[in-house]
Amino acid sequence: MSLDERKKIILESIIKDYVETAEPVGSRAVVKKHGLNISAATVRNEMADLEEMGYLEQPYTSAGRIPSQLGYRYYVDCMMQKETLSEEEIELLQKIIRDNIHEWNEIIEKVSSFLAQATSYASFVIFPSLTLSKFKYLQILPIEDHKALVIAVTDSGLIMHRKIEVPPNIAEGDLETIAKAFNKALGGKRLNEITRTDLMLIRDSLKRRKKIIDRVLEAVEYMLAGSKEERIAISGTLNILNEPEFKDLEKLKKILAILEEDVLLRNLIPEDIKKEVEIRIGTENNIEGIKEISIVVSGYHTLGQKGKIGVIGPIRMEYWKAAGTVETVGKVLEQILKGQF
């Protein structure tokens, strides 16, 4: 149902005020704060109409009005103007990504943290699996007494690494020999094509160095297993505590459970996400028993696959800011990764 301009102005005024204060909004406050050239009585009548249409609610008798879920949806779909990041914020984000360009764990952790700070909501960044990347080379670098760093590099330039224990009788030349065997056997293979049989063949060819090869194999298997999974970084969980909607302990426990359990978070995030920002409000989300939150999410592409980025907060969310920020961060992340990989 479409609204005339006056009703749109009043609906937007109530949404903006309620998001800011978390308190029901009265007609006098709308007139005074937004400088409307109409009387408070006229605003009350318009608010009554909006309530009858389902866009506003009155939480208790004699109170002002608050937006309904339908009111938020109408605003998001028909009225909202996205608020983007400043040039300074975009430059800071670009620097964060470029400074960590080969360490995808660092990228997603720091981009997620940036998103949480920029929106004041809980945020997440999901980095796709690396199964389409190819193994380029492996190095084993001594780093301290009886320890070495196993480093695997893909054709796209991404780096995986894991620390291992090194027996005292193993020389640096032995580590180089082991690395060469891996590079000869695995070079150019896609990560999802490398099998345990490949690794066992390498082990058999290096029987004389069995003590160290088993540890290297364990490290490589660990890294390969990690490359097959999406990586999720979640930041800003404490931002949830600042929202009055979640002062109820039972509600808070449910929200925190989502942010702490990867499986629950994956179920909350829509599967078929496009680049355009998608907003799911309250009951539009598909987790049973959790109807007090909204999610703003967008997709981005890297390494031939799709990642996801977004924020989670109360239904009383600054959708205009959240949507613009998620959209901008996703675009910047995709552009830099595309240029690098």
Is the distance from CB of 123 to CB of 109 less than 8 angstroms? no
Percent residues over pLDDT 70 in the chain: 96
Q: Residue 312 has what pLDDT?
A: 93
DSSP class of residue 284 equals: G
Encode burial over 100-119: b for 16+ CB neighbours within 10 A, e otherwise. Answer: bbeebbebbbbbbbbbbebb
What is the pTM (predicted TM-score) of this model?
0.78
Q: How many CB atoms lie within 10 A of CB 144?
A: 9
Q: Which parts of the chain have pLDDT scores under 70? A: 1, 131-132, 208, 288-290, 303, 339-341
Q: Residue 158 has what pLDDT?
A: 73
Q: Residue 122 has what pLDDT?
A: 93
The C-alpha angle 299, 305, 309, rounded to 5 degrees, equals: 25
pLDDT tens per residue across span 284-303: 887 766 678 899 999 998 86
* Domains delineated in the chain: 5-78 (1.10.10.10), 87-128+230-340 (3.30.450.40), 135-227 (3.30.390.60)
The C-alpha angle 27, 33, 35, rounded to 5 degrees, equals: 90
Q: Residue 288 has what pLDDT?
A: 67
Q: Residue 191 has what pLDDT?
A: 84
Q: Residue 101 has what pLDDT?
A: 80
Q: Residue 79 has what pLDDT?
A: 94
Is the distance from CB of 92 to CB of 114 less than 8 angstroms? yes
Q: Residue 246 has what pLDDT?
A: 81
Q: Which two tokens stand for residue 162?
A: 């894991």
- Which residues 6+ apart lie within 8 Å of 136 measured at CB? 153, 154, 155, 187, 188
Q: Residue 70 has what pLDDT?
A: 96
Q: Residue 235 has what pLDDT?
A: 92
Q: Residue 55 has what pLDDT?
A: 96
